[in-house]
């Protein structure tokens, strides 16, 4: 299958500090790729480079067919992004949020409305479209934020700890949405601290001190390290970390 | 352009949904203008005056009636010489006019020895009142005494109404409040929420995000400008005989400068509270102290006076006073206009440089 993200020897240096240290990996189209690592391991820096927010010190790579060194603006048009910290503007309604994000990605009003109706109807949320986000429960907001990030049909969607502070039932529903998006051909690049979620990814990479120490399917990693869960795999690797933030 | 319009709509919705803030932003300028115009006033009114005269001759009665017919004074009656101290101490009167024995002849110019016809005894515990009372009384009485040595004319603001002076100052303050403080808080709020990150990952140019934020605040400032000018003209009676185009142009430049300050403050900090403090301490305080809004810049100690030259509000307030009160033409405020324009360009350049630095 075609690689949608391809990175070779990527390094990001801040003065004497090497936040990302010579990492290389590929992510295929329609894949759910778990990008794991303890705090301070360099995940956020790597994601910022992939999203076109920051430039790598050295290395090469492409995201959605665009060069990460020279075509950061083209990358931005082809990706979706969602983080735990911020989901949607609370003082706008669900539909206003969708109109804003759709508009940012150059969608026309009619197109936005049609997609919003289809996506919200699937979530059984269409009748709440005029509710202010403020009045919607946190779990629902995360699901809506994912819908909004997916509105412009990006080739890759980056999820930075998308399920932080969400109840287990909503997390399961959220992963159902991720699977459906991947099945439809969208690549999902997700970071998480929940190892049960890591087990749901097609492949995972584990970063320690700026380097990728392991990269394979969850099953293969579990058998390689001769443990029973992804949690144990993660702890085996992260134990040796020098950096701690 | 479509993307930009979506952003402007979003920013306008943020403001419109926050009813309390919008009331404050629209209401404060109106309240301030009316307060300074009517309630808080350094003008001295209702000065209580008593008279002490050995003989209530025709000339004395004429002088007293002139004073008591002036709306500024309230005549409290005649007192005996030994009561002067008492009426001043008890506050019954702020000033006592003591007429000489030969006041009639002094006025008529037939006195044997020329001298003072009236002595003013004033309560100096409030120097402001005493100074005004003495000036007003001298002016009123000088009409009676034929040989008045001083002939004073006050131009532009003959009643010396303080409201005239305050209106430009209030505008200078309001624009910093609305543009610099509100814009910086609004930008920093997006950083605090984490939404800035989401926006930066989108294909929207960072500068558009900022420009979209400024437009609603620019519109709000224009509303403020209009309301304050209308109140000043029709409620306070500020003459506004100067160039209206000049007033609007120089206000526009000052608003742009305030927006530049807002952007600059937002690049310094990631916390709304800090943005608020910086706007309050670093921007508002100098305006109050060093712009001539409350205290004339000429009254500042010599060492502090140079500070006023770098406070943009000083130039704005100076120019607005010239245009609104002195009724000067646009050509007479070119110096202020040039300085403000240069400051605006400088501030916006620095703000943009710092903003771009922060992105990487």
Q: Please give the ipTM for the structure prediction.
A: 0.85
Output A82 or B285, whichever has higher pLDDT: A82
Exposed/middle/buried for residue B284 (C-beta within 10 Å: 0-12, 13-18, 19+): middle
> Is residue B154 included in any domain, yes or no?
no
Q: Which of chain B's residues have a Cβ under 8 Å away from the Cβ of A79?
A: 201
Q: Which of chain A's residues have a Cβ under 8 Å away from the Cβ of B193?
A: 85-86
CATH tag, A3-87+156-238: 3.40.50.300
Size of interface A-B (CB pairs under 8 A): 65
pLDDT for residue B151: 45
- In this prediction, residue A1 has a pLDDT band, given cuts at 50, 70 and 90, of low
Select, from the ranges A182-191, B113-122, B318-327, the one with the highest average predicted confidence (pLDDT).
A182-191
Instruction: Decide if B10 touches A, using CB distance below 8 A.
Output: yes
Residue B123 sits at φ, ψ, to 5 deg, of: -85, 110
Closest CA to B312 of B261, B356, B275: B261
Distance from the B14 Cα atom to the nearest Cα atom in chain A, whole angstroms: 6
pLDDT per residue as tens digits for the range B46-66: 788 999 988 888 888 888 888
Asked whether residue B33 falls in the same domain as residue B57, the answer is: no
* pTM of the predicted model as reported, rounded to 2 decimal places: 0.76
pLDDT for residue B143: 62
Task: Give B314's Cβ-side CA count (13 Å radius).
Answer: 20
> Is residue B122 included in any domain, yes or no?
yes
> Is residue B176 included in any domain, yes or no?
yes
Asked whether residue B265 falls in the same domain as residue B295, the answer is: yes
Cβ under 8 Å to A: B residues 194-253: 194-195, 197-204
Query: Which of B81, B110, B142 finishes a domain?
Result: B142
Range of the structural domain that residue B100 is part of = 47-142
Closest CA to A1 of A219, A198, A202, A215: A202
pLDDT per residue as tens digits for the range B203-227: 888 888 888 888 999 999 999 999 9
- CATH of residue B100's domain is 3.40.1710.10
DSSP state, A126?
G
Q: Which residues contact A70 (CB under 8 A, 6 or more apart)?
A: none
pLDDT per residue as tens digits for the range B254-267: 999 999 999 889 88
Exposed/middle/buried for residue B307 (C-beta within 10 Å: 0-12, 13-18, 19+): middle
Longest dimension (CA), chain A: 54
What residue in A sits closest to B209 (Cα-Cα)?
A104
In this structure, what token pair is assigned to residue A46? 């790597």
Q: Cβ distance B263 to B187 under 8 Å?
A: yes
The structure tokens 């391991």 sit at: A41
Residue B290 has pLDDT above 90, yes or no: no
What residue in B sits closest to A85 (Cα-Cα)?
B194
pLDDT for residue A181: 94
| Domain total of chain B | 2
- In this prediction, residue A219 has a pLDDT band, given cuts at 50, 70 and 90, of very high
Residue B150 has pLDDT above 60, yes or no: no
In this structure, what token pair is assigned to residue B165? 């002076």
């Amino acid at each position: 299958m075609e690689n949608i993200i391809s990175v070779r020897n990527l390094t990001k240096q801040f003065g004497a500090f090497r936040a990302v240290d010579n990492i290389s990996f590929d992510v295929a189209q329609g894949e759910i790729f778990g990008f794991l690592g303890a705090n301070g391991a360099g995940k956020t820096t790597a994601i910022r480079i992939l999203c076109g927010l920051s430039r790598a010190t050295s290395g090469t790579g492409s995201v959605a067919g665009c060069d990460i060194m020279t075509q950061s603006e083209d990358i931005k048009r082809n990706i979706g992004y969602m983080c735990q910290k911020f989901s949607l503007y609370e003082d706008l309604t669900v539909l206003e949020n969708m109109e804003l994000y759709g508009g940012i990605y150059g969608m026309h009003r009619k197109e936005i409305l049609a997609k919003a109706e289809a996506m919200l109807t699937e979530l059984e949320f269409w009748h709440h479209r005029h509710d202010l986000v403020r009045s919607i429960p946190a779990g629902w907001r995360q699901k809506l934020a994912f819908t909004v990030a997916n509105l412009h049909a990006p080739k890759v969607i980056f999820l930075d700890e998308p399920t932080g502070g969400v109840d287990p039932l909503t997390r399961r529903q959220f992963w159902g949405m991720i699977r459906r998006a991947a099945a439809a051909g969208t690549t999902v690049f997700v970071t998480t601290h929940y190892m049960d979620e890591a087990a749901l990814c097609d492949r995972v990479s584990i970063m320690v001190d700026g380097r990728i120490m392991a990269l394979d399917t969850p099953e293969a990693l579990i058998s390689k390290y001769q443990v029973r869960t992804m949690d144990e795999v993660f702890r085996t690797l992260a134990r040796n970390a020098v950096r701690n933030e | 352009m479509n993307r930009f319009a979506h952003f402007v709509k979003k920013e306008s919705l943020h403001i419109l949904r926050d009813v309390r803030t919008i009331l404050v932003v629209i209401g404060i300028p109106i309240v301030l203008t009316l307060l300074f115009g009517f309630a808080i006033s350094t003008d001295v009114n209702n000065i209580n005056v008593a008279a002490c005269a050995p003989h209530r001759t025709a000339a004395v009665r004429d002088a007293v009636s002139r004073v008591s017919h002036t709306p500024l004074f309230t005549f409290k009656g005649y007192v005996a010489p030994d009561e002067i101290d008492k009426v001043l101490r008890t506050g019954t009167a702020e000033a006592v006019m003591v007429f000489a024995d030969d006041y009639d002849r002094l006025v008529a110019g037939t006195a044997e020895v020329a001298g003072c016809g009236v002595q003013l005894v004033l309560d100096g515990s409030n120097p402001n009142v005493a100074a005004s009372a003495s000036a007003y009384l001298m002016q009123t009485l000088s009409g009676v005494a034929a040989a008045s040595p001083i002939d004073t004319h006050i131009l532009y603001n003959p009643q010396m109404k303080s409201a005239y002076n305050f209106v430009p100052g209030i505008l200078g303050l309001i624009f910093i409040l609305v543009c610099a403080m509100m814009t910086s808080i609004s930008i920093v709020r997006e950083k605090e929420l984490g939404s800035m990150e989401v926006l930066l990952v989108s294909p929207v140019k960072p500068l558009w995000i900022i420009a979209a934020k400024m437009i609603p605040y620019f519109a709000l400032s224009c509303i403020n400008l209009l309301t304050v000018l209308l109140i000043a003209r029709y409620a306070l009676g500020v003459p506004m005989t100067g160039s209206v185009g000049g007033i609007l142009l120089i206000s526009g430049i000052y608003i742009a400068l305030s927006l530049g300050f807002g952007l600059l403050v937002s690049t310094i900090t990631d916390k709304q509270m800090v943005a608020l403090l910086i706007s309050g301490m670093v921007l508002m305080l100098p305006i109050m102290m060093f712009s001539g809004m409350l205290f004339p810049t000429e009254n500042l100690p010599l060492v502090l006076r140079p500070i006023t030259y770098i406070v943009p509000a000083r130039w704005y307030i100076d120019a607005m006073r010239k245009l609104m009160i002195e009724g000067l033409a646009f050509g007479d405020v070119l110096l202020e206009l040039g300085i403000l324009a240069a400051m605006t360009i400088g501030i916006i350049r620095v703000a943009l440089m710092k903003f771009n630095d922060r992105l990487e």
